[in-house]
Every structure is written in structure tokens, then in C-alpha cells.
A and B are shown apart, each in its own frame.
Chain A
Amino acid sequence: MLRFTRRNFVSSVGAAVVAPAASMLSDPIGAATPSGRQMPQTLPSPDSQTVYLFFNAAEARFIEAACERLIPADESGPGALGAGVSNYLDKQLGGAWGAGERLYRSGPWQSGTPSQGYQLPFTPGELFHTALRAINQDLEKRGAAFHDLPVDAQDNYLKSLETGSEDLDGVPCAVFFSLLLGMTVEGFFSDPVYGGNRDMVAWRMIGFPGAYADYYEAIDRHGVKFEREPMSLAEDGHGNLHVHPEIPASL
């Protein structure tokens, strides 16, 4: 009888069953054209597994491309795209947390010092829609959508968001960037139950064993690599992984 590893999973959000195998990821930057201008990078396949509920098509394309620059695929494995980070963002921003769960939302509002943290009225969902609209409009004016730019140009654009002081219809670009980066890291490293970290690919890369965690004996083996497949809190006894991104932010 044929068997399979415990770590097979079925995603309940999105269509296909299987995480893209390594061979599906495209090569990095394509060769320069004869004119000397570098061809756009042959991007990793857009995330065909995600059914977007929050992002519209233009937003989704930006998010996929931007997140993939924040955590790119490389020889060690998939980046944000392959890990389903855009799916994570879509489900978080479209859910209760994106609607303002855990955010004190009373005014009056005024901008404060860096020590005082976030002081805008936008919920995370509103912040993303507002900023992305402004970004896509800006890039349209400049003649190229983000995902069509060569990677160097993409990186420069992201850096300008990170360190600049552009106002994106009321959202300071650095605030948007910081939230985008933070959520990208969350989507990469959180439990796959939230729709990111597909097949626990990020946990495999660093060797984090996941949600089942009894190390009483192993802790004595100083300096010995802990060889165990990562385990999600959302898997059942048959190795299926049930995605439930709507887990609330409070008990």
C-alpha cells in the first residue's frame, strides 16, 4: 500500500490542492534585451491558489509582486508568493482584524511622536485600500504597473515607500510600508491555519517545529539538530490541514 507523508494538506480556501512544487517557480531575472534594457523579471507564477475576497485585481497584483520583493524566492526556497502571503493578507484584511479588531478607534486624532505609535483613524483594511489606490494611480501616471517593473525598479519603489514622506491620500507611505512588511512576515511565519506559510514552507526553511511542542527529552540533546517535520495546529490525524483565517484576536 502506498503511503504519503503526514504533511500533505488540503486548503479549504482557494482551489487547488497542492503547493506549487519548486519547479513551478520561475528563474530569477531574465537576460537583458539587445537594446540593453533589462527585461522585466519573469515573475513567479501569480498566486493561482488564492481566491481574493478583499483585494481587487489591481491591488492583488501589486501585493503579490511587492510581497515577493520583501521575501523573495531564492535557492533556499519559496518567497512570499509561494508561501501564500498574499492569501494571508487578503484574509486578514478582509476579516475582523482588518475591520479594526484590537484597535482603539476613538478620537480625537492627532499625529504624535514616534513613541506614541499609530494614531490614524484608518482600520488596517481601510489603510490598505486607501494606500493601494493612491499607489496604483501614481504608478499608472508614471506609465507602468508595479508588477510590470523590473525588480530593481520595484525595490527602489518599495524603498521610496519605506523611507519617504509621500502622502497616500492620508496614509503616510512609511506607515503603509511598515504595515505591509509586518504583515508579510506574519503571513510567512504564522501557522498555515491563517492561509499563509503554505505547507509550512517557512518553518521548514528555518527548522521551526510548529504547534506541537514537547521537548522535555530533546532539550537535553545539546547542539543536536531536531529532525522533525513541522506540525500545524490545524492539521488532523490524517495529515490534512484545515485553513481557518477567521480566528479572532481575543480569547
Chain B
Amino acid sequence: MAQRLRAVDVAVIGVGMVGSIVAKELAAAGYKVVGLERGQARYTVPEFQSPAIHDELRFDIRKALMQDNTREPVTFRNHDRETALPVRRWESFLPGTGLGGSMVHWNGQTFRFQANDFQLATRTHERYGKNFLDPNLSIQDWGVTYDELEPHYDRFEYLLGTSGKAGNIKGEIQPGGDPHESPRSRGYPTPPMKEHFQGALFRKAATNLGYHPFPQPSSNLSQPYTNPEGIKLNTCVFCGFCERYACEHYAKAVPQTIILPVLLANPNFELRTGCQVQRINLDSTKKQATGVTYIDAAGREFEQPASLVITSSFSLNNVRMLLLSGIGKPYDPASGKGVVGRNYAYQTMSTVASFFDEDVIINPFMASGASGTMINDFAGDNFDHSGLGFIGGAFIGAVNTNGRPIQYHPVPPGTPAWGKGWKEAVLKHYNHTVMFSLHGSSVSQRQNHLDLDPTYRDAWGQPLLRMTFDFPQNDLKMAQYVTAKGVEIGKAMGAKQVAGAPRKGPYTTTQYQTTHNTGGAVMGSDPRTSVVNRYLQSWDVPNVFVIGASAYPQNASWNPTGTLGALTYWAIDALKNTYFKNPGHLVSA
């Protein structure tokens, strides 16, 4: 029998990036906030310290910082006609856990989406005509514009101290930045990161081809910085243990280094760790949440009443929470009806490897998570797609983050998988190869969706999330196109051999790509095709807000985190300025 606790104003599910920011803002505004985090508390000292953290086997291969897949995996199938089976080991995507969430071990790549992305359906139709798109695709507008989000992007970047070079300040193109970016009100809070040798080679080649290279925006900082919360971050030392690792130097912007000290000091906020939320509880009308039920680390069940529930866990877990709670109509791909689980998308990743002679010393191990040089000339709708048969694109860059040898030992195509030939090739190419990443957009299509698995359960007895996903043809065509462009850049660098590896289907869970899982609880103006309104408020249960990349109707050419940070501040403003004054639907359906 669940023990009923004293009511609070706000229950926050998941104290990662979003949960930390929301909790801090609402606690500072005077509300009593409880943060329910299923993982453990951890801090820069001692948990993130080196040399122990610089352990590739433990953190890269064994996934030490990730969600406990032995208790809560997901099930997966490419198509509805298959039976979904558990993802028994994380590989393709790596959900995080613990205080600070996945942001603790992100790469710090901090992007804004472009204005076009927020009205993708409208603008694609305008530019290319209504018949351009594959009818199977379900891309749609977001219900919010870039201009509305711009001040919140700015706020987020200044919270993190993001290091970069602006390309467009209030409409004026800035040399050295990205000319394709949508206008920003001011430059980045800190200057761009140092460019490594790979980046320099890329930049020269890209410039010679007429493209517009610029330094990758980085939330591993280029210099010491004090953020608006009064918290200091340090300079990144390019240790090459960024993604999947936590930063020992207070140089990576993570909740612990940008906001948690302030949040945890506020008596209005209470952190509870080891708490696995089971569901959001609804009243008899099913249109109002009464709070949440969770099970703690000792297996005890609690009911936490709350006036407002924010689900700010990882995108996949947000969607699952809605399904387990009965909030919103689950999507059925056969009939096309329902919304929860609809428009699940991912990221379409390709690579280009450029092999140089042994006198070209690359030192791949000297890198930060976001210290590359890149171009947006083939991202988004920055190029004319007429006649190409796809929409979307990829950023292309020399953005390699590490030289950790268990996973990084590039060899040319045709190299044997083992034996003397393999060993020779590894030694020959390890320090003489430049890897490009082509970070491609991911459109939504009707068949790709999330729902609850009928067979497999988590350790608490609840159905696992079931993922049905394969790459749309649109995205595979896009991957071919951008990879060819990447190969040209590789050749222009003067490499001896260039090998492009465009993403091919079917999508497999056995190979790491990204943890950019988006959609399933999308935002929009129309409740028939969205789960939350433009303020990320549930259409069905107005005192539930679902803040995560679960809100994205489709995924753009860049990492999702920057946009999620903007949406978080945007939703917080709606909560503080409008919702709390008059709780109820912020948008009439």
C-alpha cells in the first residue's frame, strides 16, 4: 500500500538537465518542488575525477554511467511485422541516469536549430511544392518559432558558457562564424575553442571548395567563466575523454557545474534519489493529475501529491511515462489515430575517413567533445533540394572527439577484420587519419513509433517501451548525398585515400550512432497531431508538462540539446508568467 506524502506544489520527474533547470526556476519563484531521480547523486568530486574516469573499457564499452539496462531496457523492432525484442545491451543509443542525467556525459555540442526547422512542413511546401515530400512522412511544424525561442537559446547558452563564434548577429553576418545560422541577439559567452590539426586541415579544404567552415560551438569551455547563477567553470584541457565520461576539471557544462549548487541550496527544493516513478496519478476525470507514485531504492511505494507534474526525464522515458499513466491517446500506426508515441525520430549519421601518409601526424587523442571545425552548407534546407528527392541534410565536420583505441582504430576499406593485416593497418593509420562526422537530420514517418511492449517488463513489473523504427528512404538518400560532399572535402585536404561510409539501412541497435532519440510526445498547434501544446503542456491533462526532446516533431541536422535548453526556459516562462496565475489550458484546443 503506497504511503501518501505531504503535498507539494511541483513534482519533477528526472533531475537531469531539464529537471535541474525547471526545479531551480520554480523553487526560486517560491514553489515547493520535489525532484524525483531514479539514479544516484554524484558530483565532480569524487565521482568524476581522473585518472579513474579516463577508463575506456569501463565508461565507453561497459557504459558505466548509463541507465541500468538490466532493470529497464527498451524493446526494439524495425517494423510492425516483427516481434520486438529487448535491447539486451545498450549500443546504438545510451540513455543516462543519475543526478544531472545524460548531460553529465554529453559532448558539449551546443547548437540552435534554424528558423526553417520550426516550420518545416510549411516552408518545405512553400519552397518545393506540396508534392515534393514522400507521402509516408509525417513532418510537421512545431507550433513555436525560432524568433520566439531566440531569447531562451541565448539564456541557455549563457547558463552554460558556450564557447563559439557567432555567424549572424541581428541579421549582420559575422566573418568566421556560420553564415547560415538564424540571427542571434549577441555573440557566444566565451570565445571559440582552440582548433586542432584536423580542424585546420578541414577548414582549409572546405574554404577552398567555397564552403563556410566555422568552429563547432562547445560547452566544454575555452576559458574560465562565471555564469549568471554565479557558478564558475574552468578551461577544458582537450583530454579526449568527453562523451560517455564526466569531466573532472569543472570545464564541461553539466548540471553539477552550472546550476545544481544553487538548486540544492534552496530549501524550497528537495532532491530524492533512488526513486523510480511508476506513473503520474490522475483523478477520476482523467483530466487532472494528482501527483505521482514512485518506488524508492528500498522497494517502498510512495504517493507524492502535487499540483503540477513535470516529466523531464529522457525523451524515451517521458513517452513511456505518459503511456504508463494513461495520459493522451496512444498512437496506432495502422489506423493513424492517436498521438502518444507518434513521430519518433533519431539521427542519420554517416562518416568519411581520410587516410594520410605517415608524415602527417594527427594526434586524435587531443580533442574535446565539441572542438571541431564544421560546415552547415549541406545541413537543413541551406541548399537547394530541387530534384534531389529528399529533404534535410547534415552538418559536416572534422569533429572527432577522441583517439581511445578500443573503439577508435580506423582502417581503410578492405582491411581484414583481424590478423597481421589488421594489425599493420591499425598501426599505419591510427595517427594519420581524419574522421569526418556527417550529422544528418531525421524525418518522421508513419511507421516509426513508440508504444508499450506486450511481453517484456522492467524490474518493477511495468511494460517496457517498445521502439519501432527504421530509416526513412528520405534520410538514406540524404546520407548518400552529403557523404559524397564529405568525400570531396576529404580529397581536397590532400588525403591519400578517402572512404565515405553513408548510413545504410536497416537501422541496427548494435552500432553506436547517437543518443538523439526524439519525438513520441510532440509539440504542436493541433491536438490531433501533437501530445503537448506549444508550451509543452499536455493537451489532455493541463497540470502535466512534458519537457524533453520527446517534443520534437522530427529531428534536425544538429544535436538536440541546445534546442531543448531553449524550450525549457520557454516553458518555464509560460509556467511562471501565465500558468501559475491561472492554472488550466494555456492554449485552447
Q: Which residue from B47, B98, B238, B422 sits with its C-beta under 8 Å from A216?
A: B238
The answer, yes or no, to whether A56 is at the interface (CB within 8 Å) is no
Which of chain A's residues have a CB closer than 8 A to the CB of B62?
A: 97, 101-102, 249-250
Supposing A115-B509, A251-B98 touch, asked if A189 and B76 sit within 8 A by C-beta, the answer is no
Closest to B87 in A: A117
Minimum CB–CB distance for B64 against chain A, Å: 5
Minimum CB–CB distance for A190 against chain B, Å: 4
* A103 contacts B361, C-beta separation under 8 Å: no
Minimum CB–CB distance for A191 against chain B, Å: 6
| Distance in angstroms between the alpha carbons of A106 and B461 in the assembled complex | 12
The answer, yes or no, to whether A222 is at the interface (CB within 8 Å) is yes
| Contact bitstring A84-105, B, C-beta under 8 A = 1, else 0 | 0000000000000100111111
Closest to A207 in B: B431
The answer, yes or no, to whether B80 is at the interface (CB within 8 Å) is no
The answer, yes or no, to whether B207 is at the interface (CB within 8 Å) is no
Minimum CB–CB distance for A205 against chain B, Å: 6
Q: Which residue from A76, A212, A216 sits with its C-beta under 8 Å from B235?
A: A216
* B200 contacts A222, C-beta separation under 8 Å: yes
* B365 contacts A74, C-beta separation under 8 Å: no
| Distance in angstroms between the alpha carbons of A225 and B91 in the assembled complex | 33
**Interface segment, A45-53, A64-72, A140-148, A165-173?**
A64-72
| Distance in angstroms between the alpha carbons of A108 and B238 in the assembled complex | 45
Q: Which residue from B82, B405, B420 sits with its C-beta under 8 Å from A74?
A: B420
Closest to B59 in A: A251
* A219 contacts B423, C-beta separation under 8 Å: no
**Complex interface residues of chain A between 153 and 195 (CB less than 8 A to chain B):** 155, 158, 162, 181, 184-186, 189-191, 193-194
Minimum CB–CB distance for B92 against chain A, Å: 9
Closest to B39 in A: A251
| Contact bitstring B69-113, A, C-beta under 8 A = 1, else 0 | 110010011100011011111010000001000000000000000
| Distance in angstroms between the alpha carbons of A194 and B366 in the assembled complex | 24
* B365 contacts A215, C-beta separation under 8 Å: yes
| Distance in angstroms between the alpha carbons of A220 and B40 in the assembled complex | 38
* A215 contacts B237, C-beta separation under 8 Å: yes
| Distance in angstroms between the alpha carbons of A222 and B56 in the assembled complex | 25
Q: Which residue from B42, B51, B237 sits with its C-beta under 8 Å from A211?
A: B51
Supposing A208-B405, A222-B200 touch, asked if A76 and B427 sit within 8 A by C-beta, the answer is yes
Supposing A189-B406, A225-B361 touch, asked if A106 and B57 sit within 8 A by C-beta, the answer is no
Give the dominant DSSP class at A's interface.
Answer: loop
Most chain A beta carbons < 10 A, residue from B63, B69, B409, B418: B418
| Distance in angstroms between the alpha carbons of A69 and B420 in the assembled complex | 8
The answer, yes or no, to whether B291 is at the interface (CB within 8 Å) is no
* A74 contacts B424, C-beta separation under 8 Å: yes
The answer, yes or no, to whether B545 is at the interface (CB within 8 Å) is no
Which of chain A's residues have a CB closer than 8 A to the CB of B73?
A: 104
The answer, yes or no, to whether A36 is at the interface (CB within 8 Å) is no
* B77 contacts A116, C-beta separation under 8 Å: yes
The answer, yes or no, to whether A2 is at the interface (CB within 8 Å) is no
Which of chain A's residues have a CB closer than 8 A to the CB of B57?
A: 186, 190-191, 194, 247
* A76 contacts B423, C-beta separation under 8 Å: yes
Closest to B42 in A: A251
Q: Which residue from A102, A114, A214, A231 sits with its C-beta under 8 Å from B510?
A: A114
Most chain A beta carbons < 10 A, residue from B62, B88, B404: B88
| Distance in angstroms between the alpha carbons of A181 and B417 in the assembled complex | 9
| Distance in angstroms between the alpha carbons of A209 and B480 in the assembled complex | 36
Which of chain A's residues have a CB closer than 8 A to the CB of B69?
A: 102-104
* B363 contacts A226, C-beta separation under 8 Å: yes
* B365 contacts A213, C-beta separation under 8 Å: yes
The answer, yes or no, to whether B165 is at the interface (CB within 8 Å) is no
| Distance in angstroms between the alpha carbons of A187 and B87 in the assembled complex | 25
The answer, yes or no, to whether A34 is at the interface (CB within 8 Å) is no
**Complex interface residues of chain A between 210 and 251 (CB less than 8 A to chain B):** 210-216, 218-220, 222-226, 231, 233, 247-251
| Distance in angstroms between the alpha carbons of A196 and B309 in the assembled complex | 49
Most chain A beta carbons < 10 A, residue from B76, B423, B508, B510: B423
Most chain A beta carbons < 10 A, residue from B61, B363, B457: B363
Which of chain B's residues have a CB closer than 8 A to the CB of A191?
A: 55-57
* B423 contacts A72, C-beta separation under 8 Å: yes
* A115 contacts B235, C-beta separation under 8 Å: no
Minimum CB–CB distance for B453 against chain A, Å: 12
Q: Which residue from B42, B235, B237, B406 sits with its C-beta under 8 Å from A190?
A: B406
* B426 contacts A211, C-beta separation under 8 Å: no
Q: Interface extent on A, as a size class? A: 35 or more
Minimum CB–CB distance for B465 against chain A, Å: 13
| Distance in angstroms between the alpha carbons of A76 and B423 in the assembled complex | 9
Minimum CB–CB distance for A102 against chain B, Å: 6
Which of chain A's residues have a CB closer than 8 A to the CB of B236?
A: 216
Which of chain B's residues have a CB closer than 8 A to the CB of A248?
A: 58, 64
The answer, yes or no, to whether B197 is at the interface (CB within 8 Å) is yes
The answer, yes or no, to whether A79 is at the interface (CB within 8 Å) is yes
Supposing A104-B70, A115-B506, A247-B58 touch, asked if A215 and B239 sit within 8 A by C-beta, the answer is yes
Closest to A115 in B: B508
| Distance in angstroms between the alpha carbons of A250 and B88 in the assembled complex | 15
Q: Which residue from A103, A212, A218 sits with its C-beta under 8 Å from B88?
A: A103
Supposing A72-B420, A116-B509 touch, asked if A218 and B427 sit within 8 A by C-beta, the answer is no
* B54 contacts A110, C-beta separation under 8 Å: no
Q: Which residue from B200, B365, B457 sits with its C-beta under 8 Å from A209?
A: B365
Which of chain B's residues have a CB closer than 8 A to the CB of A104?
A: 69-70, 73, 86-89
| Contact bitstring B495-515, A, C-beta under 8 A = 1, else 0 | 000000000001111100000
Most chain B beta carbons < 10 A, residue from A112, A162, A219: A219
Closest to A206 in B: B430
* B419 contacts A106, C-beta separation under 8 Å: no
Which of chain A's residues have a CB closer than 8 A to the CB of B430?
A: 206-208
The answer, yes or no, to whether A113 is at the interface (CB within 8 Å) is yes
Q: Which residue from A108, A210, A219, A225 sits with its C-beta under 8 Å from B196?
A: A219
Q: Which residue from A193, A206, A215 sits with its C-beta under 8 Å from B426?
A: A206
Q: Which residue from B365, B418, B424 sits with its C-beta under 8 Å from A181?
A: B418
Which of chain A's residues have a CB closer than 8 A to the CB of B237?
A: 213-216
Which of chain A's residues have a CB closer than 8 A to the CB of B508?
A: 114-115, 117
| Contact bitstring B447-469, A, C-beta under 8 A = 1, else 0 | 00000000111000000000000
The answer, yes or no, to whether B412 is at the interface (CB within 8 Å) is no
The answer, yes or no, to whether B52 is at the interface (CB within 8 Å) is yes
Closest to B240 in A: A213
Minimum CB–CB distance for B461 against chain A, Å: 11
New A-B pairs, 11, CB < 8 Å, besides A108-B455, A190-B61? A69-B418, A70-B419, A72-B419, A74-B420, A101-B62, A110-B83, A181-B417, A206-B431, A209-B365, A215-B237, A250-B64
Can you give 30 A-B contacts (C-beta < 8 A)?
A: A69-B419, A70-B418, A74-B423, A97-B62, A102-B62, A102-B63, A103-B88, A104-B89, A105-B70, A108-B455, A110-B85, A116-B85, A162-B417, A181-B417, A186-B406, A189-B56, A189-B406, A193-B55, A206-B409, A208-B365, A208-B404, A210-B54, A211-B50, A213-B240, A226-B363, A226-B365, A233-B52, A233-B54, A247-B58, A250-B63
Which 7 residue pairs of A and B lie closest in terms of their CB atoms, listed nearest first? A249-B62, A233-B51, A213-B239, A215-B366, A222-B197, A189-B405, A115-B508
Question: Which residues of B line the A interface, CB within 8 A?
Answer: 40, 42, 47, 50-52, 54-58, 61-66, 68-70, 73, 76-78, 82-83, 85-89, 91, 98, 194, 196-197, 200, 235-241, 360-361, 363, 365-367, 403-406, 409, 417-420, 422-424, 426-427, 430-431, 455-457, 506-510
